[in-house]
């Protein structure tokens, strides 16, 4: 069993197995030192229409996502006959394997990576045939350890969503990947609720997973709007998955409630990149953008009153005002007790050459 307490020095090495600090996903780096990997989750938002699936790809491409993900399943193999309502809902939202071949090729033509979540064994076998560059395991596979092991042993990178997981479940999942010798794993914190109330998102769980297991961490979002995934980026998520949709207010559907669409997906990704850029290096110091402010915003020592030549400067002779082009207030001790070599008018910035 994977240890549940790992020191900072042992991050990225769990139970004797080292998970990757970063890996390549279809040639794009993921993890430490890499830009946030953005997944546009098209899911079943095509509602069974190949033409709409193509438009979802276009949406992801135009907004600047790194990859677009669909969900592949055969309803009868995914849902038992004991759940007729779910069968009815999903039957209209499945596409044929031939359609996914076309979608894959359309993604290649348009320069975006295609991949998918397979929800049944036949669909997983089909993904093998498609030779996807990496795999996504949905939260619904929690405790489906044989399924996780099959994917882990393929040896390709994997994005693992952990909605409904306990920490013990995460530990068991990581044991499977360690046992399979597959280090290229990104663990996505997720809450399987549509929409997820912000108070139940628990972004600090990302910290717990990262510190405990030393894996690349990400966040799969099910909240309304996109301020929460932006906060996840600020908290260190290296992968963000956000649902996309062309249709809203759809009866018997839930993904649209947590989706970005044509009106805001591009803005979301733009703001995500801005938040990412804003994180900076962590080194505290004036930024290049502040150079001008160093001149006008800081204060200098200024004559508090007219100072005749020959005056020995005392505390009552000096005050602090902008701009910051003269002697810094921190150097007041170098001014007190010195003699003015010429008249210094009131409100004049004091310069070193004025003093002896």
Q: How many domains does the chain have?
A: 2
The residue from 255, 279, 303 where one domain ends is 279
Looking at residue 114, the DSSP 8-state letter turns out to be E
Residues 158 and 16 in one domain: yes
The residue from 222, 255, 279 where one domain ends is 279
Q: Does any domain span residue 295?
A: yes
How confident is the model at residue 14, as a pLDDT?
A: 54
Per-residue pLDDT of the chain (356 residues; tens, 9 = 90+): 444 333 333 334 456 799 999 999 999 999 999 999 999 999 999 999 999 999 999 999 999 999 999 999 998 889 999 999 888 888 888 999 999 999 999 999 999 999 999 999 999 999 999 999 999 999 999 999 999 999 999 999 999 999 999 999 999 999 999 999 999 999 999 999 999 999 999 999 999 999 999 999 999 999 999 999 999 999 999 999 999 999 999 998 899 999 999 999 999 999 999 999 999 999 999 999 998 998 999 999 999 999 999 999 999 999 999 999 999 999 999 999 999 999 999 999 999 999 99
Residues 238 and 300 in one domain: no
How confident is the model at residue 86, as a pLDDT?
A: 83
Residues 304 and 204 in one domain: no
Residues 81 and 212 in one domain: yes
Q: Does any domain span residue 220?
A: yes
How confident is the model at residue 234, as a pLDDT?
A: 98
Cβ–Cβ under 8 Å, residues 160 and 152: no
The CATH number covering residue 330 comes to 3.90.1210.10
Residues 338 and 226 in one domain: no
Residues 144 and 107 in one domain: yes
How confident is the model at residue 354, as a pLDDT?
A: 97
E strand intervals along the chain: 13-14, 17-18, 22-25, 28-31, 37-43, 67-72, 113-118, 135-137, 158-161, 185-190, 216-221, 239-243, 300-303, 318-321
Q: Does any domain span residue 3?
A: no
Q: Does any domain span residue 1?
A: no
Q: Does any domain span residue 149?
A: yes
Residues 189 and 336 in one domain: no
**Sequence-ordered list of residues with C-beta below 8 angstroms from that of 144, at least 6 positions apart, any chain:** none
Residues 269 and 294 in one domain: no
Distance CA 218, CA 185 (A): 11
Residues 46 and 164 in one domain: yes
Residues 146 and 78 in one domain: yes
Q: Supply the range of the domain harboring residue 248.
A: 8-279
């Amino acid at each position: 069993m994977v240890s549940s307490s790992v020191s900072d020095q042992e991050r990225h090495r769990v139970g004797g197995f080292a998970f990757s600090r970063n890996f390549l996903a279809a040639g794009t780096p993921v993890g430490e030192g890499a830009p946030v990997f953005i997944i546009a989750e098209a899911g079943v938002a095509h509602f069974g229409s190949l033409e709409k699936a193509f438009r979802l790809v276009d949406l992801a491409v135009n907004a600047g996502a790194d990859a677009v993900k669909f969900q592949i399943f055969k309803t009868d193999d995914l849902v038992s006959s004991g759940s007729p309502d779910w069968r009815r809902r999903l039957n209209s939202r499945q596409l044929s394997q031939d359609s996914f071949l076309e979608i894959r090729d359309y993604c290649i033509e348009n320069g975006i990576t295609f991949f998918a979540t397979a929800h049944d064994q036949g669909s997983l076998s089909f993904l093998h045939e498609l030779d996807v560059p990496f795999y996504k395991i949905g939260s619904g596979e929690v405790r489906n350890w044989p399924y996780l092991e099959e994917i882990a042993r393929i040896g390709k990178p994997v994005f693992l969503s952990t909605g409904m997981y306990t920490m013990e479940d995460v530990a068991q999942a990581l044991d499977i990947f360690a046992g399979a010798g597959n280090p290229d794993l990104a663990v996505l914190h997720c809450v399987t609720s549509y929409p997820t109330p912000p108070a139940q998102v628990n972004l600090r769980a990302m910290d717990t997973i990262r510190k405990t297991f030393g894996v690349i961490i990400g966040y799969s979002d099910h909240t309304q709007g996109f301020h929460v995934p932006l906060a996840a980026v600020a908290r260190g998520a290296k992968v963000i998955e956000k649902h996309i949709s062309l249709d809203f207010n759809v009866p018997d559907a839930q993904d649209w409630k947590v989706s970005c669409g044509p009106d805001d997906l591009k803005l979301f990704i733009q703001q995500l990149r801005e938040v990412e850029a804003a994180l900076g290096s962590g080194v505290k110091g004036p930024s290049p953008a502040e150079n001008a402010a160093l001149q006008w915003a800081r204060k200098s020592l200024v004559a508090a009153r007219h100072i005749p030549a020959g005056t020995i400067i005392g505390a009552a002779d000096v005050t602090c005002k902008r701009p910051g082009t003269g002697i810094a207030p921190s150097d007041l001790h170098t001014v007190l007790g010195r003699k003015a070599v010429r008249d210094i008018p009131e409100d004049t910035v004091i310069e070193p050459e004025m003093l002896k």
